[in-house]
Amino acid sequence: ATPTAIMVGIGKGAENNILIKDAESLEVGHRVNAIVLDKTGTITEGKPVVTDLRWMVDGYDLPQLQRVLYTLESQSAHPLAEAVTTKLANTELVVLDTFESVTGRGVTARYQQDTYFVGNQNLLTENKIKVPDELLQQAIDWENQAKTVVFFARRESAGIQSEVLAILAIADPIKASSKQAIHTLQSQGISVYMLTGDNAQTAATVANQVGVNDVRANQMPADKANFVKELQRAGKIVAMVGDGINDSQAMAQADVSIAMGKGSDIAMDVARMTLITSDLNSIPKALQLSKQTVRVIR
């Protein structure tokens, strides 16, 4: 590889909002035949907004419960939590006794003898909190609209009685560029996959809207990395595109790692390429650039 060709490639990348850290990823890029995309913040805007909030309790307790919900989400760094605190802006904070973040699930806290849960259905199931059938149906309806459902629940001090207090729907619009970019990659013979920590129903709806047929939901950070490893064992050269802390393991495992700008600092640290644009069409552009660079080299 001539250093000049690499320098030209890196320079051209910069002109196109593609920051390339090393020669190696520029050289491997053109051999990529599998691309793994994270959903939230990569395929979607990553700016979730609460569209619905249904309380299951009435009157008297409600203001206090809203404070508890607000406080729990104020202490979480998850983008969904920010959507909730924005929705409940100007709510007062309470002082929680404990607070715990559960990866891929949500958050829990103890407050005045009771335990509170904010997160997905798995968080409730694993804590043996029953969701009424009517709410399960409500969740499916929202998930079919590509929304993510968040439950707010409480278990009373004795540990016997528990109830769902509220259910929220959160929308995270798909980027305008996603469908086109994915189609471009597929038409170049590249297999495209979507991974997400989100639930299966929402994941399937989003994947369907952008034309991805292979999707894995409920993925923990290690699952994402294992999936990349599986593809590599099957002989694929894999590019992983993500934006979050929970993508960084998979990005470290991949042959080419691409961070979406405005993602977490950790993702950008790990990534060998960073797209300083939210436009997914930069991905086929980056691979094209690699092809041109290598052509010059040979």
Burial of 51 (0-12, 13-18, 19+ CB in 10 A): middle
Give me the residue label for tokens 């593809």. 231
Measured at the alpha carbon of residue 112, what is the angle toward residues 108 and 115, in degrees to the nearest 5? Answer: 25
Give me the residue label for tokens 């691309």. 35
Give me the residue label for tokens 């977490």. 264
- Residue 81 as a binder of ligand ADP (CB under 6 A): the answer is yes
Identity of the residue, 39 or 155, whose beta carbon is nearer to ligand ADP in the bound complex: 39
The torsion region of residue 107 among left (phi > 0), alpha (psi -120 to 50) and beta comes to beta
- Residue 172 as a binder of ligand ADP (CB under 6 A): the answer is no
Phi, psi of 277 (to 5 degrees): -150, 155
- Residue 38 as a binder of Mg ion (CB under 5 A): the answer is yes
Residue 241: name the closest of 291, 200, 277 by CA. 277
Binding mask 182-211 for ligand ADP (x = CB under 6 A): --------------xxx-------------
Phi, psi of 63 (to 5 degrees): -60, -40
Query: Which does residue 148 bind out of Mg ion, ligand ADP, none, counting CB within 5 to 8 angstroms by kind?
Result: ligand ADP
Instruction: Identify the residue among 40, 66, 248, 274 touching Mg ion (CB under 5 A).
Output: 40
Instruction: Identify the residue among 42, 115, 246, 249 touching ligand ADP (CB under 6 A).
Output: 246
- Residue 271 as a binder of ligand ADP (CB under 6 A): the answer is no
Gap between the Cα atoms of 118 and 107, Å rounded: 5
User: What six digits make up the tokens of 29?
Assistant: 């890029």
- Residue 162 as a binder of ligand ADP (CB under 6 A): the answer is no
In whole angstroms, how close is the CB of 114 to ligand ADP at the nearest point?
18
In whole angstroms, how close is the CB of 121 to ligand ADP at the nearest point?
8
Residue 132: name the closest of 145, 117, 143, 121 by CA. 121
Let me know if 38 is a catalytic residue: yes
Instruction: Identify the residue among 13, 244, 263, 284 touching ligand ADP (CB under 6 A).
Output: 244
- Residue 104 as a binder of ligand ADP (CB under 6 A): the answer is yes
> Of 22-30, 105-113, 225-233, 236-244, which segment contacts Mg ion by CB under 5 A?
236-244
Gap between the Cα atoms of 18 and 250, Å rounded: 20
What residues make contact with Mg ion under the rule CB under 5 A?
A: 38, 40-41, 244
What residues make contact with ligand ADP under the rule CB under 6 A?
A: 38-40, 73, 76, 78, 80-81, 104-107, 118-120, 148, 150, 196-198, 244, 246
The catalytic site residues sit at 38
